[in-house]
Amino acid sequence: MISSTCLKEKMDTAKIDRIIDKHQGEASALIQVLLEIQSENNWLPKEVLAQVSEKLQVPLSQIQHIATFYKAFSLVPKGRHQVHICMGTACHVRGAARVLDKVQNLTGIKPGETDLELKFSLETVNCLGCCALGPVIEIDGKTHGKISPAKTSDVIASYD
Amino acid sequence: MPRINSPVELEAFRQEIVSKRDPNKPCITLCSGTACHATGSKEVALAIEQELENQGLTNKVGFRRTGCHGFCEKGPIVVIDPEEICYLQVTPEDVPEIISSTIKEHQVIDRLVYADPTTGEKTAHEPDIPFYKHQQRMVFGANRRIAPQSIEDYLANDGGKALIKALFELTPDQVITEVKDAGLRGRGGAGFPSGVKWEFARKSPGEPKYVVVNCDEGDPGAYMDRSLMEGNPFGVLEGLVIGAYAIGSHEGYFYVRQEYPLALENLSIAIERAEEHGLLGKDILGSGFDFDVKVHRGAGAFVCGEETALLKSLEGKAGEPRPRPPYPAVKGLWDKPTNINNVETWANVPLIINKGAQAFASIGTEGSKGTKIFSLVGKINNTGLVEVPMGISLRDVIFEIGGGIPNGKKFKAVQTGGPSGGCIPEELLDLKVGFDELTKAGSMMGSGGMIIMDEDTCMVDVARYFINFLTDESCGKCVPCREGLRQMHKILTRITEGKGKASDIATLESLAETAVEASLCALGSTAANPFLSTFRYFKDEYTAHIEDKRCPALACKQLISYYIDPAKCTGCGLCLKNCPDEAIDGGKQKIHIIDQEKCTNCGTCFDVCPAKFSSVIKISGEPVPAPIPEDKRTIVRKKKSK
């Protein structure tokens, strides 16, 4: 398990202040602030949430409510490669569940988890809007369409 | 570009743009929507730019990258104007030939044009392709002619005309009357008359008033709002400004789903351009009307598509719905009168103002006017976005435009209305598409997703899938939705695993009834629809699962076994090689056998067995035949006679 302190170096307090200032420090901008921190840092460490709470004058409990309510936020570190498996209806009827099974077998992790080497983080998503290409998996923003369980092995193996 | 301060200046600017454009100049249009992007349109774009430069044509041939054209199945799509020659599934390698043959010599490249999947007949001219021919693209059509970040393209295509008409020729009340008379109903799902909603907000006491664009398009399999936002953000913006004028609002918000980065980018640029040109901000076009907009990114919560949840989220809080009334028109954002419409609804507004309420109302059925964009996905030949007049039959959409079901399979059902919609069976295919018609059939319009299912789709599994989706997305505030869905999901899962009990149906029905009656918001009150509609039309599938422990569609993993038909196996060894569980026994010239003890039902053998042999079969509800005796496993090939 990686402690949150060593990753915090990347996300210094000045940078967080800048993000908050950009949104003029309004309490209503909380979600936008957290989204930006999430996309810069890939996850939301506890210390960062405390800083946001203090700066925006929003109770930490409310920030935690939001950070756990919305799916875009992660309170644990993420792997180097983000694997998103589309479980939208169009992909579902074209066999997405079997693709998910295969990816779980290959990576040893379930949706929402990150492996111990911090290589892959696996998430299921509800629709990527590429229904013509279903079933679809997206790794680090690249779309792999018309994927079958058999093809999945090659795709996963191509990431290190 | 200096600010435009009057309608006259805008018309002069438009004329200047149009006069510089030669309609006969060849122009290459490349679809760069999300689906085409995923199939490589970026690489095609680079190739086109490079090739035009190589052949010294950069100034002689126009090149435009647009939003989604809709025919996602066949992307990347290239259209060459003015001839409207449409090339499908274009790769960078095709580009030099397109430029040297089609652009220079006006020759059509046969292999890149549309070919009918059954007759093989070729169609090069875009409007003649069956997928486009039967559509009526009033709202979505502009996508094909406009580079989303170019205000010049927008103005050259009559953009801004509705805005001028509304601000300078009509009073706010007249605008509302037009929208009411047009019969426009909300395209986001509920189908509430938009003009009536606007009037509520206008008449509600309290200042300031807000207008909001709901682009939190969460229904899986529906992506028309994203495509409009990506492809024609100016059109949505124009509709919003007209609505704001009618309602008396000076501040608006776009709530855009976080998963739509391209929509966010194009929208932000469009807002900037509109501000620079005086189409947004203070004293719009010198009319004295002020209006500003802000963009808010969603953070991934399906329930935020519900209007009261969306407003909470805009305020920076967790998006939990609250009971209505009071409606947002009375008590909305920061408790002020607020009007929310979805993207497609706003995009229809300029059309109504330009063409008039009567022209708009002449299209459609009695209760549903205008056109609707549907996303046709699932087991369908022509996956994509289609815009059709209300009142068209489901059969026409699925078979005329959609091209029917792939691989000669049989149509089973079409699911409409998003996760909480319903499944419509084959016998209702002649149903006319409209808000009331779909509701009567036990489904709903929703935001316009149409998921086509064929004989291989298990309806119990589909119900389980949607209930699972909704369980996951339930915000947890009220019990009938939070707990009721969880229980329904548990029972449906049990049924698909062959552990269903005879009493399960009655329990499901009672949980469904409670969720419908007692949930706080539309998510919960419609959440039981997937079960109710599949049970209504496909009761026999439920019975087969519960009583015979059989999945008729051969889809439920726990209810099927894989078996190699000894009569068909040729001993090719592909299944043996690919089986991840070493459950297959085989060898050269030997009929392969699946060890049912070791098999985990992953289906790999079924996938890899070549179609010409099709020796791996699925069995459900009956015992797997015993493996053939060892001495009969050798395959004796007939020698070819010389």
Q: Cβ distance B444 to B466 under 8 Å?
A: no
Same domain, A53 and A97: no
Strand order in the sheet with B449-454: B384-389, B371-378, B449-454, B411-416, B422-425
Q: Choose the closest CB to A150 out of B315, B557, B604.
A: B604
B297–chain A nearest CA distance, Å: 7
Q: How many CB atoms lie within 10 A of CB B588?
A: 9
Distance CA B631, CA B642 (A): 30
Is residue A52 domain-resident?
yes
The pLDDT of residue A23: 82
Answer yes or no: do A96 and A37 share one domain.
no
CATH number of the domain bearing residue A123: 3.40.30.10
Q: Contact at 8 Å (CB) between B124 and B78?
A: no
Contact A89 B72 (CB under 8 A): no
Tokens 């026999």 belong to which residue?
Answer: B540
Closest CA to A65 of B317, B477, B471, B306: B317
Round to whole Å and give the CA distance between B292 and B443. 38
Q: Is residue B228 within 8 Å of residue B346, measured between CB atoms?
A: no
Cβ neighbours of residue B109 closer than 8 Å, sequence gap 6 or more = B87, B94, B97, B98, B101, B102
Q: Does the CA dihedral A130-A133-A134-A135 come out positive or negative?
A: negative
Instruction: Confirm or reject contact between A63 and chain B (CB < 8 A).
Output: no
The reported pLDDT for the residue numbered B200 is 97
- CATH class of the structural domain B460-547: mainly alpha
- What is the band of B28 on the pLDDT scale with cuts at 50, 70, 90? very high
Q: Are B530 and B457 in contact (CB under 8 A)?
A: no
| H or E segment and range at residue B620 | strand B616-620
Beta strands in B343-425 (DSSP E): 371-378, 384-389, 411-416, 422-425
Measured CA to CA, the distance from residue B50 to residue B570 in angstroms comes to: 50
Same domain, A142 and A90: yes
Q: Most A CBs within 10 Å: which of B317, B474, B482, B576, as the mutation test of the A interface? A: B317
Kindly state whether residue A50 falls inside one of the protein's structural domains: yes
CA B420, B342, A24, A58 torsion-angle sign: negative
In a domain, A74, yes or no: no
Q: Round to whole Å and give the CA distance between B582 and B529.
A: 42
Among A27, A88, A94, select the one facing B316 at the smallest CB separation: A27
Tell me: do A85 and A59 sit in the same domain.
no
Task: Using alpha carbons only, give the angle B312, B313, B315 rounded to the nearest 5 degrees.
Answer: 65
pLDDT of residue B388: 97
CA–CA dist B260, A129 (Å, integer): 9
Question: What is the reported pLDDT for A4?
Answer: 44
What is the structure's pLDDT at A11? 65
Alpha-helical runs (H) found in B474-596: 479-496, 504-518, 522-526, 529-537, 539-547, 574-578
From residue B184, alpha-carbon distances to A31, B242, B366, B551 in Å are 33, 15, 12, 43
Q: Which residues of chain A have pLDDT under 50?
A: 1-9
Q: At B24, is the secondary structure helix, strand, or coil?
A: coil
Does residue B191 come out as left (phi exceeding 0), alpha (psi in the -120 to 50 range) or beta? Answer: left
For residues A62 and A125, state if they share a domain: no
A71/B contact by beta carbon, under 8 A: yes
Reported confidence tier of residue B2, pLDDT bands at 50, 70, 90: confident
Counted domains in chain A: 2
CA distance B54 to chain A (A): 30
Residue B324, classified by CB atoms within 10 Å of its CB into exposed (0-12), middle (13-18) or buried (19+), is middle
Please identify, in words, the CATH class of the domain defined by B371-457: alpha beta
User: How far A81 CA lies from chain B's nearest CA (Å)?
Assistant: 17
Average pLDDT in the B83-104 region? 96
- Taking the CA atoms of chain B, what radius of gyration do you get in angstroms? 28
Alpha helices per DSSP H over B91-232: 95-97, 105, 130-133, 151-156, 161-164, 172-182, 194-203, 224-231
Kindly state whether residues A94 and A143 are assigned to the same domain: yes
> Are A52 and A88 in a shared domain?
no
Hey, is the C-beta of A108 within 8 angstroms of any chain B C-beta?
A: no
In the predicted model, is pLDDT for residue B640 greater than 50? yes
Please report the pLDDT score of residue B296 as a whole number: 92
Give the tokens for residue B46.
């680079």
**Residue A94 counted as domain residue:** yes
Better-predicted residue by pLDDT, B262 or B507: B507
Average pLDDT, rounded, for chain B:
93
Q: d(Cα A16, Cα A37) in Å, to the nearest integer? A: 7
Residues 6+ apart with CB under 8 A from B508: B488, B491, B492, B531, B535
Residue B530 pLDDT class (50, 70, 90 cuts): very high
**Domain annotation covers residue A54:** yes
Residue ending a domain, choose from A21, A47, A69: A69
Q: Do B226 and A131 touch (CB under 8 A)?
A: no
Cβ–Cβ pairs < 8 A, chains A and B: 139
Domain boundary (A69, A89, A123) is at: A69
CATH 3.40.50.11540 boundaries in chain B: 151-361
Residue A87 lies in a domain: yes
Return d(Cα B237, Cα B277) in angstroms, integer.
13
Arithmetic mean of pLDDT, B363-374: 95
Q: Is residue A24 part of a domain?
A: yes
Q: What is d(CA B328, CA B310) in angstroms, rounded to the nearest whole number?
A: 11
Residue A94's pLDDT is 87
Contact assessment for residue B353 and residue B243, using Cβ atoms and an 8 Å cutoff: no
Distance CA(A130)–CA(A88), nearest Å, equals 10
Above 50 in pLDDT, residue B265?
Answer: yes
State whether residue A139 is helix, strand or coil: strand
- Give which of B488, B594, B591, B504 is closest to B542, Cα–Cα: B504
Closest-CA distance of chain A to residue B260, Å: 9
Q: Inter-chain contact B35–A133, Cβ cutoff 8 Å? A: yes
A65 shares a domain with A26: yes
Q: Provide the 10 A C-beta neighbour count for residue B112.
A: 21
Query: What proportion of chain B, given as a percentage, has pLDDT over 70?
Result: 99
* Residue contact A126–B469, C-beta within 8 A: yes
Q: Which CATH architecture has domain B151-361?
A: 3-Layer(aba) Sandwich (3.40)
Rg (CA), chain A: 18
CATH topology of domain B560-632: Alpha-Beta Plaits (3.30.70)
Q: What's the whole-number mean pLDDT along residues B291-308?
A: 90
Contacts of B301 in chain A (CB under 8 A): 69-71
Q: pLDDT digits over B431-459, tens only?
A: 999 999 999 998 899 889 999 999 999 99
Judge if A92 and A146 occupy the same domain. Answer: yes
- Residue A29's closest CA among B97, B131, B451, B297? B297
Report CB contact under 8 Å: B75, A132.
yes
Same domain, A92 and A62: no
- How far apart CA B551 and CA B556 sit, in angstroms, is 6
**B509-525: per-residue pLDDT in tens?**
999 999 999 998 888 99
β partners of residue A85:
A124, A137
Q: Which two tokens stand for residue A13?
A: 């307090």
Write down the ipTM of this complex.
Answer: 0.86
How deeply is B415 buried, as exposed, middle or buried, from its count of CB atoms within 10 A (0-12, 13-18, 19+)?
Answer: buried
- Residue B571 has what DSSP assignment? -
- d(CA A78, nearest CA chain B) in Å: 17
Q: Which stretch of A91-105, B239-253, B348-362 has the lowest confidence by average pLDDT?
A: A91-105
Residues 6+ apart with CB under 8 A from B439: B445
**Range(s) within chain B of domains with CATH label 1.20.1440.230:** 460-547
* Any domain includes A56: yes
Give chain B positions within 8 Å (CB) of A65.
318
Domain termination residue (choose one: A15, A43, A69): A69
Q: Is the pLDDT of residue B495 over 50?
A: yes
Residue B467: closest CA among chain A residues belongs to which residue? A89
Cα–Cα dist B302/A69, whole Å: 11
The whole-angstrom distance between B148's CA and the closest CA on chain A is 18
Show the domain range for A131.
Answer: 81-157
Question: Could you tell me the sign of the dihedral formed by the alpha carbons of A144, A146, A151, A153, in that order?
Answer: positive
**Residue B305 pLDDT grade (very low, low, confident, very high; cuts 50, 70, 90):** confident
Asked if B297 and A149 come within 8 Å (Cβ–Cβ), the reply is: no
- Using CB atoms within 10 Å of the CB of residue B366, give its burial: 0 to 12 exposed, 13 to 18 middle, 19+ buried: exposed
Residue whose tokens read 């309806």: B459
Which residue in the set B73, B220, B316 is minimally distant from A132, CB to CB?
A: B73
Q: Domain B24-133 has what CATH class? A: alpha beta
Report the residue of A22, A24, A93 to disrupt the B interface, i.e. the one with the largest count of B CBs within 10 Å. Answer: A93
Residues A88, A152: one domain? yes
pTM of the model: 0.90
Q: What is the mean pLDDT of residues B549-568?
A: 94
Instruction: Outline where DSSP puts E strands in chain A.
Output: 81-86, 120-125, 137-139, 142-144
- Do A136 and A95 lie in one domain? The reply is yes
Least confident range of A14-18, B20-24, B167-171, B489-493:
A14-18
Provide mean pLDDT across the span B360-378.
95
